[in-house]
Amino acid sequence: MKMKYLVLLALFTCVGNSFAQQTPASKQTEAITIVGATAHLGNGEIIENSLIIFEDGKITQVMDATATKMQYRGRIIEAEGKHVYPGFIAPNATLGLVEIDAVRATDDEDEIGSMLPHIRSLIAYNAESKLVESMRPNGVLMGQIVPRGGTISGTSSIVQFDAWNWEDAVIKEDDGLHINWPSSFTRGRWWAGEDPGIKPSEDYQEDLLELEEFFTSAKAYLAGNNKKTNLAYDAMKNVFTGDKRVYIHVDGKKEILDAIDFKQKQEIEHLVIVGGYEAHKAIEELKENNISVLVQRPHDQPNSEDHDYDFPYKLAGILHNKGVLVALESSGSMERMNTRNLPFYAGTAGAYGLGKEEALKLITSNTAKILGIDDMVGTLEKGKTATLFISEGDALDMRGNILTHAFIQGREVSLETHQTELYQRYKEKYDSASK
């Protein structure tokens, strides 16, 4: 009987391990020196033969190895011929909020209601998501976790991708409020007997008025002595003080200009456009109001027959070259699994008007600046958190993006996932079949 229980216990342990994420890495206990790699600093600069040292989770040295006699410290990683990068950052992601789209119990990206600034994505974040785990082998080591739905979706937070739970994962808690801007056009509902074409929305001005009234009511509530608590209005406090950024998800030129007008009326200090398909038509207004843009992923088709076939590839470069602070986001169809392609989106933008090192900024330093975490991450720089990785080749090219080491806050994290396990399993199968 005792043997039976031992066998069952072993079986349950094996099954549990097959479904669970790897155990998060332990805290860094010794200094690590990376020597000889080409360091892409994330700010447009390169050090061909670099020396990088980090300890206690912080970068302590970044320099040219040929120009220094500094003594190496702790564990030494010889990386000649390889490349080292700051960890890539995925903004506007729903990683950890949905595991399987078809299983409702695993879908926690949306809540019932329209004005939901008090909904916090962080507490719903699943640190053990297999999708989150699968980001790391491509160098995507951090992300902004954003709720969806409603006019005001809720509040996002920024996390790192190797944690026991959301408390351990958080880098910046409740960093921004997300607004889905109404569209000034609507598509006719053919099933209701309407013309299926696109026409001006009769509800647009009414939707804007509703949004403005919510902001006005929240200000009045916070300015008064209210005995009755309103959680939605309470959540707006940091927006009005400027401590919380406002991310407006919008694409059309008219809507972008209306959003800029909204920023001025509501005296919003930090506003970011998300998506921004027609942001190139409002460049001067964006610059005048110090508004950044998280550009939609470039691997897409143009939305207008008037646009070049490669317009989505060029959009980030057009905005960047005109002086707008730009980063890349990856929302859209199959967005969670496609987030791992973030470096390749940047590589495409680099090939269409930016160049590799400027394109790298779109997923490192620019993203960190837009999210307000550039004092911690985004570049390989003394004093910043040691969240970085070593790649055998160009990390913005899927042929060279082959990671050998990855570190989050100085901790060396596993690059194995359920996908790499399946790859090895079937590789062995077909290797043996070909012999």
> In which domain, by residue range, is 265 found?
88-377
Instruction: Name the CA dihedral angle for 350, 353, 355, 356, rounded to a multiple of 10 degrees.
Output: -10
- 38 membership: H or E segment, kind and range: strand 38-40
Token representation of residue 352: 């269409």
Q: Are residues 373 and 418 in the same domain?
A: no
Q: Are residues 296 and 262 in the same domain?
A: yes
Q: Are residues 136 and 269 in the same domain?
A: yes
Give all strands (DSSP E) within 136-270, no chain letters: 140-145, 152-160, 170-180, 185-187, 198-200, 245-250
Q: How many separate domains does the chain show? A: 2
Looking up tokens 């902004």 gives 144
Tell me if 8 is assigned to some domain: no
Sign of the alpha-carbon torsion through 37, 40, 41, 44: positive
Q: Of 358, 377, 396, at which residue does a domain stop? A: 377
Q: Are residues 298 and 308 in the same domain?
A: yes
Tell me if 319 is assigned to some domain: yes
The alpha-carbon radius of gyration of the chain (Å, integer) is 24
Tell me if 11 is assigned to some domain: no
Predicted local confidence at residue 140, as pLDDT: 97
Q: Of 360, 377, 394, at which residue does a domain stop? A: 377
CA distance 142 to 132: 9
Q: Which residues contact 402 (CB under 8 A, 6 or more apart)?
A: 391, 392, 393
Q: Are residues 276 and 129 in the same domain?
A: yes
Tens of pLDDT along the chain (435 residues) come to 455 544 444 444 444 444 456 789 999 999 999 999 999 999 999 999 999 999 999 999 999 988 777 788 999 999 999 999 999 999 999 999 998 888 888 888 889 999 999 999 999 999 999 999 999 999 999 999 999 999 999 999 999 999 999 999 999 999 999 999 999 888 777 777 777 777 788 889 999 999 999 999 999 999 987 778 999 999 999 999 999 999 999 999 999 999 999 999 999 999 999 999 999 999 999 999 999 999 999 998 888 888 889 999 999 999 999 999 999 999 988 888 899 999 999 999 999 989 999 999 999 999 999 999 999 999 999 999 999 999 999 999 999 999 999 999 999 999 998 888 888 889 888 888 877
CA distance 344 to 352: 12
